[in-house]
A and B are shown apart, each in its own frame.
Chain A
Amino acid sequence: MSVEWFDLGQRLNAADTGHAVPRLLHAPLLPVTRPVAVRATSTGARVTVAATVPGSTPATAHGPEALTLLASLGASITAASPPTLVTDHPATLGLLYRLALTTTPGTPGDDVAALIAWWRDRADFPGGRAVVDTVTACRTRWVTGQTPEHEAQPGTWRNWLGIGDDTPSGVLRVHELLTAGPPLTFLTTLAEDDLYAYNTAQSEHGDGFDWRRPDTPSRAALGLRARCDAADLYAAALLTDPLYRLRAVHTGHVLTGTADPLGDRLKRTRLTCHRLDSRLRPGTAVAGWVGGPETHTSPFSATVSAAEVEHGLLVLTLSGVTGHAPVAGDRATIHPAAPSPARQRAGRRSYRALYAARRSWLTTGRTPTPTRRDVPLDVLVAGAEPD
């Protein structure tokens, strides 16, 4: 509930000034090289598509001709770099996919249909460059002086951002504003994953892979894992933004308290916090620094090993504090540690290898056999009970 009041404070400010106010200091999206603004609507079975690219006048087409229109705008799986679908209409991708399903392999519209299938696949990846829903992105970046229901309408954003053009060209203008400024950390990593996926989709299309067939179990599992990794990374990217962290104090993802190092071999520090609504549980790896949520200097890392309430205050015990550890009395801020993109990729490679190996425990369904090996002393010490 508390975060709703925080948002209301922002809404009241926006209503007072008449300007949308920022939720983020950074851009939630990277600029793209081939944006294609599309808005699809349907009347019964008939799908109408309005589309444009920078420097062109918006055009409209119906049914299968819409695929021809998209092809004329460079929206094809054969494009040298991945075209980005930019839309402000939630039904657009579903309607495009409906059109794509009307094509057959090897026909002229198949290259466009394969791109639409790739867009549909990548639409679940937050912060990527394949599909941009400008309404969702605007809600991530700014707050208006209107209600959340009104913010779900593209027209609300055009009004607050001063864009009078309600054609797909206006969608491109909103997208430009969304990508202005320094981007959030990790967006480049997410874009690299998009590019890798695009190159893979191009190769598969060239090899005659038919995206209309259902995914195999391994492909579906790998896709799910990749989506989870992207979601984790995007959540961490948001926490690198100082304004976002100020809000995240009220969701329990960011916690500020007074440090009290215990000075023991486990490098433990107790953090006493006034707020009890923390989402940081024992076992959570955290990143922290001395200072408030809006600052971020001299980081340290640790793991929450205990959480308890003492005299109405939340006391977190942080173990294995490394880096610029806080000293007694310091005001310190912590939040969940960001995942390592390198580790995520390595994990996906291992997962793929397990699915590819016919005798792995994953493909055979056998429970893995536990194996014993020597454990380094420092790992044993870190795992020991504090008492």
Chain B
Amino acid sequence: MDNNLTTYATRLLLGTDLTPVTARSVAAGITPASTPAEHTLRDGWTASARATLAAPSVAVDEGES
């Protein structure tokens, strides 16, 4: 993780008990997530690994179009 990202992450994690290192650990699933911030970090990490997720089988209802 580069220094700029570390500084940025530190600012975002203010008030959460997380550091950039522990945040990475929680996001990657190495440490279990228990707080809302930890679950959200994990959601973001997991979403990143879902690039092969199947495309939607039904598009959003387009009404009369």
Q: Which residues does chain A contribute within 8 Å of B1, judged by CB atoms? A: 12, 15, 145
Q: Is the CB of B60 within 8 A of A338?
A: yes
B52 CB to closest chain A CB (Å) equals: 9
Contact B23 A12 (CB under 8 A): yes
Nearest-CB residue, chain B, relative to A22: B51
Q: A16-B24, A185-B60, A250-B40 are in contact. Are A5 and B2 (CB under 8 A)?
A: no
Chain B residues with CB under 8 Å of A338's CB are 60-63
List residues of chain B with CB under 8 Å of any chain A CB: 1-2, 4-5, 8-9, 12-13, 23-24, 27-28, 36-37, 40-51, 53-65
The CA-CA distance from A242 to B60 in the complex, in Å, is 11
Q: In the docked arrangement, what's the CA distance between A15 and B24, Å? A: 10
Whether B53 contacts A240 by the Cβ 8 Å rule is no
Chain B nearest Cβ from A302, distance in angstroms: 11
B47 to chain A, nearest CB (A): 5
Q: Is A11 an interface residue (CB 8 A)?
A: yes
A341 to B, closest residue via Cβ: B65
Residue interface bits A315-337, CB-to-B below 8 A is 1, else 0:
00000000100000000000001
Bound: A197/B53 CA distance, A? 36
Which chain A residue has the least Cβ–Cβ distance from B46? Answer: A9
Residues in chain B near residue A239, CB distance under 8 A: 60
Closest to A275 in B: B36
Among B28, B48, B49, B60, point to the contact of A236 (Cβ < 8 A): B60
Instruction: Choose among A12, A25, A189 the residue that contacts B53 (Cβ–Cβ < 8 A).
Output: A25
